[in-house]
Amino acid sequence: MNENKIIAWAQALAGVAQCGLTYNRTNAFEVERYSEIQRIASDMMAEVSNVRFEDMLELFDEQSHDGYATPKVDVRGAVFRDDAVLLVKEHVTGKWTLPGGWVDVGDTPSGAVEREVWEESGYRAKASKVILVADRNLHYPPGRFHIYKLFFLCDLTGGEALVSHETDGVGFFREDDLPELDLNRTSSGHLAACFAHYRSPALPTEFD
């Protein structure tokens, strides 16, 4: 059984169901049909994850009230000091990642990454360049949602190391002395791209 394919199919089915429910709320037959697709997607996702069917169905049902289905947006900030990158230690996993998280409604992408860097690390930074735009499905272990990850090169402007309710550690690390990464949030390949763009800012933005 290829779990990655099953998750990708479940993501696609959940998207079809969300769009169908968005545009067919007044047609009882269509609501029933798309709700069944949503249940199938939930069952598939629950089968290959540690999330219960009921919880997965509730999550997908909440999404179905948000309109047309599109990928979620995650931002990550690459902040450097003396050829070392800023990483934070995730409270949940105990592993390290570039600071970042979801873009809130009303945020600009640059404003979101600057906020996430400050909230998770205590440092202030200014976004200066988009390093890459990555389709998470192509580079990371599959998750419940289809996600675009935006990596920004950021200039350090102030602040000091402070942990948050999401982080247990904050530090700057050189490329040859990295801690154990949370590979669900920051891959080694994408972190290498961040170092490359820091050293050569004229490199073009990467995508997909």
Q: What is the pLDDT of residues 106-164, one digit of tens each?
A: 899 999 999 999 999 999 999 999 999 999 999 998 787 889 999 999 999 999 999 99
Query: Do 53 and 80 fall within a single domain?
Result: no
How many other C-beta atoms are found inside a 10 Å radius of the C-beta of residue 18?
Answer: 23
Task: Record the tokens describing residue 106, joined without a space.
Answer: 């009303």
Which pTM value belongs to this model? 0.76
pLDDT in tens, 149-168: 999 999 999 999 999 999 99
Per the structure, how many domains does the chain have?
Answer: 2
Where in the sequence is the domain holding 16, given as residue range(s)?
Answer: 3-63
Burial of 168 (0-12, 13-18, 19+ CB in 10 A): middle
The span from the CA of 125 to the CA of 123, in Å, is 6
C-alpha to C-alpha distance for 194 and 190, rounded to whole angstroms: 6
Domain boundary residue, one of 18, 40, 63: 63
Question: Are residues 153 and 81 part of one domain?
Answer: yes
- Answer yes or no: do 124 and 179 share one domain: yes
The residue from 30, 46, 63 where one domain ends is: 63
Clarify whether residues 39 and 82 are in a common domain.
Answer: no
Token output for 178: 């990295």
Token pair 């089915």 in the structure block, residue: 13
Percent of the chain with pLDDT over 90: 62
Structural domain ending residue among the three candidates 63, 83, 106: 63
